[in-house]
Amino acid sequence: MTGTRTLIAYATKYGTTKEIAEEIQDILTENGIESDLINVMETGSIDTYDAVIIGSPVYMGKMLIEARDFCQKYMQFLAEKWVAIFVDGVSCCPPGEEAERTLIAAIDEMKDYVKPAVKKVFAGSLDPSVLIEADAQIADMVHPPVGDFRDHEAIRTWAREIASAILENNNSI
């Protein structure tokens, strides 16, 4: 293991983003990077980490409230870290530049609090049978794409790139 301590802080409503975060953690481990995988609502001090990967689904065009709160709460610490943010959603299914821009905009909304070195959009997953009533009603109105659109190879490829960037950043400190 390297000396680089990495936090993967995720938000999730139905588990998709947690599973993406777990895949990323597996690849970091394979590349010798030790990491902690923690829900954004359960993070304590983040001072001990050199790098932070924040992951959130997009709901109604925004990162989940707890992920936005995390960025705001830890803005001073995040300013000193190497940060990557990924979001996942189904509006980029099928993929398209415009849809991707909308999802990147959800990350950019956090720009007053965090300036990530890397931003990434992943296709997410939507299973209408597990939605709480309020979400089901919204889904009924907007008819989002339904299914598991996750591209596991894309997730692993990105995680390998992130591993390289973290190691490079650590070497340059």
Ligand X SMILES: Cc1cc2nc3c(=O)[nH]c(=O)nc-3n(C[C@H](O)[C@H](O)[C@H](O)COP(=O)(O)O)c2cc1C
Contact residues toward ligand X (CB under 6 A) are: 12-17, 57-61, 88-91, 103, 124-126, 131, 135, 138-139, 144
106 or 166: CB nearest ligand X: 106
Answer whether 114's CB lies under 8 Å from 147's CB. no
47 or 153: CB nearest ligand X: 153
* Tokens 């996942």 sit on residue: 88
DSSP letter string over 92-139?
A: TSS--HHHHHHHHHHHHTTTTT---SEEEEEE-EE-GGG--HHHHHHH
Compute the least distance from the CB of residue 135 to ligand X, in Å. 4
13 or 77: CB nearest ligand X: 13
Q: How would you class 161 by CB atoms within 10 Å of its CB: exposed for 0-12, middle for 13-18, buried for 19 or more?
A: middle
Compute the least distance from the CB of residue 41 to ligand X, in Å. 13
82 or 149: CB nearest ligand X: 149
Compute the least distance from the CB of residue 83 to ligand X, in Å. 20
Answer whether 60's CB lies under 8 Å from 74's CB. no
Compute the least distance from the CB of residue 173 to ligand X, in Å. 32
